[in-house]
Chain A
Amino acid sequence: MAGMGMGGVLLGRVPVLGATSRPRMETPWLDTGIKRQLADVALNAARSKGATYADVRIGRYLNQFIITREDKVLNIVDTESYGMGIRVIANGSWGFAATDKLDKDNIARSAEMAVSIAKENARLQSQPVQLAPQKGYGEVSWKTPIIKNGFDIPIKEKAEMLLAVNDAAMKAGASFIDTALFLVNEQKYFASTDGSYIDQDIHRIWPTFTVTKIDSKTGKFETRDSLGSPMGTGYEYLTPDDSRKIRTVTTLYRDRYDMLEDARLAAVQAGEKLAAKSVEPGKYDLVLDPSNLYLTIHESAGHPSELDRVLGYEANFAGTSFLTLDKWKTKKFNYGSKLVNIVADRTQPGSLGAVGYDDEGVGCKEWDIIKDGVLVNYQAIRDQAHIIGLNESQGCCYSQSWQDVQFQRMANISLRPGPTPLTPNELIKNVEKGIYIVGAGSYSIDQQRYNFQFSGQLFYEIRNGKIAGMLKDVAYQANTQEFWNSCAAVCDQRDYRLGGTFFDGKGQPPQSNAVSHGSATARFNGINVINTARKI
């Protein structure tokens, strides 16, 4: 989640960066008929060399980012990357080759390369790849439903918007502000020997900042990050709308973000953090805002329910999972309290993971992972589905670009809102000794997803149902199963919001996946809080 500071021209394979200045008259949408012809060259070449299955992804990845600080625009970058990835099964083994030279001869050579790699690897294979059946869709398409295309907004307007945000923060007392706006457009064409030809146009946006406030007398500093989220929407996300704000002791945002207001508040709150009381370590009832809880969901529910981790495919880097198949088979594994209902969804409007079809041509859907606190399912793709008794993939296949091989990635994983009416302010009224935590901070979890430690942006002490002031130096440590079993209340649908990240990392070589996590404010009883203050 290191979104800031990635300016410069040396983008190389930095995953989410790359892009264009719309209107993109100079880069017209590549004709679907041409893409089909190129894809067929690869599919036919792969088949003729002995592939029993092949798929092709032709991608044009356009991104734009604007980096500013205080009263300066540091850089405006458009990147564009175009190429083809060819994946095959030959002799029961996977092979993959990618190229950015899309003439027919080179495409055919790359397809041959993919087949020869598959055959070379087949001698190391203990069992042949088994693909869940997938019907061909023929020629279909899908687009992210957006109102305003961020690439169509003039550069000047976007830069001035960020400078206005910075100005608001500085006038409110910030010492520094770093701001960035990221726009992503994945133009993806998928074709496979199953008979699918799928054209997709996917958009994402992420406005973000960090405000720093320095106490020159003590030399201490505090920061406060943006409470906005990366979203699978258009530029309309940046249109303030009071009816979509939630007011607690601070202001929170649903599907419209008031970046200027948030920056002004951030400057004030960074100052309050400097003067805040250092937390007394111990057990507290935590009230976690969705802007904090999304990251805990990501790490402790999203990752352990990825089937490739469960099976051991990620043991060398991202790790395995405590949600082993034997626990799932009992149909009784108590992951959390009865209030805990966690759902996987690749169709959710506004989410980062929403697409029509995944990167192996499977139509997307929604399914339960944790039902009434019990583990009921995983996240799987075509070559894993049979392992958990499914006869079709759940549509979780993704690659960050044409040049990387697709594999199982996290769907949007979300906590369903509570069934009974409850607002965050009502929830806080019932807490005797607690901490209300807003925004995502430091985060770390072990390689099997048992032990985690999270921090946040804002910490408010709750005493006898009332906010008693701000705290600092707060981090909470817990065991995943104990944490989710301590879930004692979840607010209702009115409070439901999406958080998310552009940088869900997994795989070797590592790839980034963009994914959202929804929840309403929730309460967790008796969680261990540590004090993180040190002296050097």
Chain B
Amino acid sequence: MFYREAGQFKSSYKEDQAIFPILQDRIGMGIILLIAFVGIPLFTGDYFIGAIMTPFLILALAAIGLNILTGYAGQISLGTGGFMAVGAFAAYKFATFTFTFGGFEGTMPLVITILLSGVMAALVGIMFGIPSLRIKGFYLAVATLAAQFFIEWVFIKVGWFTNYSPSGVITAPPLIIMGYEFDTAAEKYLFTLTFVAILALAAKNLVRSHIGRGWMAIRDMDIAAEIIGFKPLQTKLSAFAVSSFFCGVAGALWAFVHLGTVEPEAFGINRSFAILFMVIIGGMGSILGSFIGAAFIMLLPIFLNNVPPMIGWNIGVDMVAHLEFMVFGVLIIFFLIVEPHGLARLWTIGKEKLRTWPFPY
């Protein structure tokens, strides 16, 4: 079947505003979801699922979070790791909190724990978003470093957050929903996938709503946005809140599902940078781009670690690390030169060409 929209007429604005207005895209998305939910757990191994797919999905979620703030609302943030840490440690505190309710003693349900930890991250995000009203551009980027370092420091220094664990490390409780424990790699993967799929859809809906348009308006020209009636405070802080919510949930999943035991250093400045790269390389202002970027940044080190030995080139481990840095740097520059708007843009351009192929005029 050709990639064509000829013959697909839209008779209502509702159809025109669907996420995938073209039939072929809908089919494609269906196939991807089918592979993700059925194919991967059935036909791939634990290593692929546990060490690649699950972290990929979680990082993609964090990248969506940062993309909302940086790509859509135009506020550069270097504090993503900090907000993820808030999510992780909040989830830990909620999960280890035992409450008594009319003689019944119990802990909070897992899903609510994770969502609440996102809410906590959102609150912290709002707090650190307040300076964005006065501080703009690169100055703001530097200001978000304050969030990054301060939050990291708090979790290292304040014992309460780790329940006074002497090593400063927290261990996540088992993942139990309604008495069922998610403990194999495939189950954990499906758990993560469900979260990520639902939240990605929510993000997509949000950015095409009037709220998302407000973010983009502030990004493209903040003065004009204010003059046509967007309140800068509300618009910017809502972007910080939603973005931090996503990062917080990603942090909680990273701690509970992927790592199991976590120390604050897992959410250091390098994490923030890695997620920023995902957004840049994938495409700013694109939800799809967040996934592509995350996949790219995840796969590159694996690729670099495996290729030299494969072609019979034996180099030391630290040499690989240095080479990784170099290749990484070169690739970032390369992508920026080839397509400053990221891989997602290449995808869109490709689709547009395909639509009119073979007669582009």
Chains A and B form a bound pair: no
Instruction: Give the A-binding residues of B (Cβ under 8 A).
Output: none
